Amino acid sequence: MLQVRNLAIDVAARRVLTGADFTVGPGDKVGLVGRNGAGKTSLLKVLAGEDDAVAGLVLRRGSLGYVPQSPKPRAEATHSALSHILSGRGLDRAAERLVKLHEVLDKDPSLANVQRFSDAEERYRLDGGYSGESDARRIAAGLGLKEGRVDLPLGVLSGGERRRLELARALFADADLLLLDEPTNHLDSDAKAWLMDFLRTSRGAVIVVSHDLILLDEAITRVLHIDAGRMVEYRGTYSQYQAARKAEEVRLTSLAQRQQAEIKRLSVLAEVMRRQTEKRARTAKSIFKRVDRMKAVQVSAPRRERKVKISFPDPPRSGRVALTVEGLAKGYGGPLVFRDVSFEVERGQRLLVMGLNGAGKTSMLRILAGESQSSAGKFRLGHSVSLGYYAQEHEGIRAGVPVLTQMREHSDVEEPALRALLGMFGLTGDVARQDAGTLSGGEKTKLALAQLVAGRHNVLLLDEPTNNLDPPSRVGVAHALAAWPGTMVIVSHDTEFVDALKPGRVIFMPEGRVDYWDDELLDVVSMA
């Protein structure tokens, strides 16, 4: 299926991977793990043929399916979602060809036209055309796309629904090798469970990048870990890998300490002997050579998993009522997604927006952020409100613009302060000068959050702010926002994140019902 030999990858002139060697065979389920910015997404792009490696060889056999972190449907917005899924196997074009051949046959029922239609119909049947629609609907339903939504045009679907649609298309294609980059983003718990079962039982090979530890533990049999530009392979589940890695770290740390102590002891001894008799000086020279040999094979102690510490500055004070919404509604040319939504958010309150995929959560936040127009109703910001918006699509991060330049657009402080702020989110060194479009999904999330901090806002609209973050960063962001006294309207499927924030109220979409938060609702956060 896939052979990789001595692979090296650069991102914005920064080497993220060197000397990678691995093979993926039929049925292999491989988890690709590492911190944000380690090179996981870049490696998947090279394996998919979208980017070139600096050095090395990638050999693929069989069909390929690739779902990036932010997939964009390669079809017209007027095409139906169902036809887009069917296009994964080319069944949409095959069906259109059958219709055209049938029209020709009606006009001219010659023997040649009958044969052409018969041949095309037989190929369509053998390719699973007649069962294709039911298979496509089954996969879409498994991923949480409601029955009626797959018959709608692509342009009507929400961002989360389009991601599910692209994943459904890739799964329907039944590729020999499937490359998935954070496939569980925007999936509820039922859809995640369905995806795990699908990946476990699929015949093809899978390489998946994910920070969803449950998915990695239940669906994969091998781990490829990228750290400090090197790749380590382990056969087994993710939990087994973590246990083995921890034991190996203990062993290497102990070995590194013993080696360092011995090198220090011999170096001191040789230095003392060098200053004594000629005979001892010759012995010292031999000891120095031995020290050099020891240094050449000396192991390095593993780096401990870093703890990410992030702090949001205290916000400027706003009026008592930060946000008022009256009779808000939104539609996309068809039935309204939601209607007659009204609520108030007071200074310092945290409002959690809950609802199934397609219920209008992101649509409402985009209206409040001024990124979209409502179909009806209105809203107004309170006195002295400064609004900051975190978009799950990272729309505010523009390719071709350096990271530091985009930070300057949100703050007028000096460059050292902006660099320090980026460093707090782990975006250090040359990353500040890097094209923002070349950042990984996790790094884009960190940049977007850094922009919010730089903006000194007192009301934040947060749409899935922990997506794409590695576990240490997710914890750091949750603790920072939990300690921040400003006002928040939050959309999130991340149970631990919501628990840390402890929202005061919740609004259920699309009906717009507002209620007080109850910890029992945590059980349904991942589903809504």
In terms of Cα–Cα distance, which of 359, 356, 361 is closest to 188? Answer: 356
Q: Is residue 137 part of a domain?
A: yes
Residue 503 tokens read as: 């929202």
Helix (H) or strand (E) holding 141: helix 129-142
Asked whether residue 77 carries a pLDDT value surpassing 90, the answer given is: no
pLDDT for the residue 47: 93
* pTM score of the predicted model: 0.72
Same domain, 414 and 496: yes
In terms of Cα–Cα distance, which of 144, 94, 154, 85 is closest to 119? Answer: 94
Same domain, 27 and 95: no
User: Which of these three, 248, 263, 296, is where a domain ends?
Assistant: 296
Same domain, 56 and 190: yes
Report how far residue 209's alpha carbon sits from residue 178's, in angstroms, rounded to the nearest whole number.
11
* Mean pLDDT, residues 91-118 taken together: 74
- pLDDT over 70, % of the chain: 96
Q: Is residue 464 part of a domain?
A: yes
Report how far residue 149's alpha carbon sits from residue 162's, in angstroms, rounded to the nearest whole number.
11
* Mean pLDDT, residues 504-521 taken together: 92
Q: Name the percent of the chain in helix, strand, coil, to the closest 5.
A: 45, 20, 35
Same domain, 51 and 166: no
pLDDT for the residue 306: 64
Asked whether residue 11 carries a pLDDT value surpassing 80, the answer given is: yes
Maximum separation of any 2 CA atoms in the chain, in Å: 110
Same domain, 205 and 164: no
Same domain, 291 and 415: no
361-388: pLDDT as tens digits: 989 999 999 988 999 999 999 999 999 9
If pLDDT is split at 50, 70 and 90, which confidence band does 416 have?
confident
**Which domain range does residue 37 map to?**
1-63+175-228
CB 448 within 8 A of CB 390: yes
The angle that helices 159-172 and 189-201 make with each other, rounded to 10 degrees, is 20
Report how far residue 177's alpha carbon sits from residue 180's, in angstroms, rounded to the nearest whole number.
10
Asked whether residue 528 carries a pLDDT value surpassing 70, the answer given is: no
Q: Is residue 282 part of a domain?
A: yes
Q: Please work out, in degrees rounded to the nearest 5, the angle formed at the alpha carbon of residue 329 by the alpha carbons of 325 and 334.
A: 170
Q: Is 227 exposed, middle or buried (0-12, 13-18, 19+ CB in 10 A)?
A: middle
Count of CB atoms situated within 10 Å of the CB of 76? 10
Residue whose pair of structure tokens reads 């037989």 in the numeric block: 122
pLDDT for the residue 303: 67
Quick one: three-class SS letters along 465-499?
CCCCCCHHHHHHHHHHHHHCCCEEEEECCCHHHHH
What is the DSSP secondary-structure string of 373-435? Answer: --SEEEEEE-TT--EEEE-TT-TT--TTSBHHHHHHTT--S-HHHHHHHHHHTT--GGGGGSB
Q: What is the mean pLDDT of the chain?
A: 86
Q: How many domains does the chain have?
A: 4
Q: Is 479 exposed, middle or buried (0-12, 13-18, 19+ CB in 10 A)?
A: middle
Report how far residue 172's alpha carbon sits from residue 139's, in angstroms, rounded to the nearest whole number.
7
User: Which of these three, 228, 249, 269, is where a domain ends?
Assistant: 228
Q: Is residue 304 part of a domain?
A: no
Report how far residue 439's alpha carbon sits from residue 178's, in angstroms, rounded to the nearest whole number.
23
If pLDDT is split at 50, 70 and 90, which confidence band does 73 have?
low
Residue 509 tokens read as: 């979409």
User: Which of these three, 207, 228, 249, is where a domain ends?
Assistant: 228
Residue 280 tokens read as: 């001892």
Residue 206 tokens read as: 């899978």
Q: Is residue 309 part of a domain?
A: no
Beta bridge partners of 489: 351, 461
Same domain, 18 and 118: no
Same domain, 26 and 139: no
* Mean pLDDT, residues 161-186 taken together: 88
Helix, coil or strand: residue 515: strand
CB 41 within 8 A of CB 211: no
Q: Is residue 189 part of a domain?
A: yes
Same domain, 181 and 160: no
Same domain, 52 and 195: yes
Same domain, 371 and 476: yes
> What letter represents residue 161's amino acid?
E
Residue 337 tokens read as: 């997604």
Q: Is residue 261 part of a domain?
A: yes
Same domain, 417 and 349: yes
* Mean pLDDT, residues 50-67 taken together: 90
The terminus-to-terminus CA distance of the chain in angstroms comes to: 37
pLDDT for the residue 210: 85
Helix (H) or strand (E) holding 296: helix 278-296
- pLDDT over 90, % of the chain: 28
246-273: pLDDT as tens digits: 888 888 888 888 889 989 998 888 888 8
126-163: pLDDT as tens digits: 777 667 788 888 999 898 887 778 888 887 777 778 88
What CATH number has the domain bearing residue 55? 3.40.50.300
Q: Is residue 234 part of a domain?
A: no
Distance, C-alpha 27 to centroid of its chain = 24
Helix, coil or strand: residue 116: helix
